[in-house]
């Protein structure tokens, strides 16, 4: 019931926004296309670096281009928040505004560091199981077989099917659960200016008892974007709409959080 209720709320709000002024979606789609072009140009420029001849230059280029793209993604998300919050069109919800939020990059990178650190921590049960079952042999096999063309056959000959299933579950399930509980960490940084730790904490708290609901929506989003991929050009529409949906979904959680605080 909650899933359908939330879906109806988000749909009705987006429909109301569209009916009020459909042109406000133009900067969203335009910004997405601009970032896509910038990504493509950076990827093309990266091919100009010969790995053997310019290793340091290539590393510096990759780091700076990554920071640039992350900063633009932050600006793109902030643009969506500005649009869904604004009653009238302003400079805050124009395409140029995606370049105005690089000051949030520090908090975002901090959150990113904590997020992947937590995911890495989630792999400890898997590593312990592997070490218990196979001692240190597994790690030496992985290391020595990275460039082995028969790597897959080697792995399957070393593990039995039961071990592969257990390792997969121990590796995937905790990481998937944590990723779902922390799904809104970046939104708290972009929307509320939280630091990385606080953003992760807030996301973990607000998504409590909503794991199955989030999985359901993520599955629908995947199907929605697959349709966009099949239609090729459609992906330029489906991905921006996905961003808007997730921003509205986050806002629904934060509004419910505020209501629960007031009631308590």
- DSSP per residue, 79-138: HHHHHHH-SS--GGGSGGGGGS-GGGHHHHHHHHHHHHHHHHHHTHHHHHHHHHHHTTHH
**149: confidence class by pLDDT, cuts 50, 70, 90:** low
pLDDT exceeds 80 at position 175: yes
Segment 110-119 mean pLDDT: 94
Provide the pLDDT for residue 252.
Answer: 86
Q: How far apart are CA 239 and CA 32, in angstroms?
A: 8
Query: Could you tell me the two tokens for 247?
Result: 């921003």
Of the two residues 256 and 66, the one the predictor is more confident about is 66
Provide the pLDDT for residue 262.
Answer: 42
**83: confidence class by pLDDT, cuts 50, 70, 90:** confident
Q: How far apart are CA 141 and CA 152, in angstroms?
A: 12
Provide the pLDDT for residue 55.
Answer: 74
């Amino acid at each position: 019931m909650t899933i359908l209720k939330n879906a109806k709320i988000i749909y009705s709000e987006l429909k109301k926004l569209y009916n009020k002024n459909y042109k406000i979606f133009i900067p969203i789609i335009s910004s997405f296309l601009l970032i896509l072009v910038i990504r493509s140009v950076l990827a093309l420029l990266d091919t100009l670096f010969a790995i053997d001849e310019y290793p340091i230059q290539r590393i510096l280029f990759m780091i700076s281009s990554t920071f640039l793209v992350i900063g633009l993604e932050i600006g793109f998300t902030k643009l969506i928040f500005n649009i869904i919050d604004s009653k009238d069109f302003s400079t805050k919800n124009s395409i140029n505004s995606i370049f105005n939020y690089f000051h949030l990059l520090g908090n975002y990178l901090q959150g990113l560091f904590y997020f992947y650190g937590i995911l890495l921590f989630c792999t400890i049960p898997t590593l312990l199981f592997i070490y218990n079952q196979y001692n240190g042999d597994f790690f030496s096999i992985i290391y020595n077989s990275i460039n082995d063309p028969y790597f897959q056959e080697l792995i399957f000959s070393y593990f039995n099917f039961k071990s592969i299933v257990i390792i997969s579950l121990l590796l995937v399930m905790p990481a998937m659960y944590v990723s779902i509980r922390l799904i809104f960490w970046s939104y708290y940084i972009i929307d509320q200016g939280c630091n990385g730790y606080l953003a992760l904490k807030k996301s973990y708290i607000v998504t409590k008892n909503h794991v199955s609901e989030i999985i359901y929506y993520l599955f629908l989003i995947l199907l929605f974007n697959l349709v966009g991929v099949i239609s090729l050009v459609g992906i330029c529409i489906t991905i921006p709409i996905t961003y808007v949906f997730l921003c509205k979904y986050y806002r629904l959680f934060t509004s419910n959080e505020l209501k629960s605080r007031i009631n308590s």
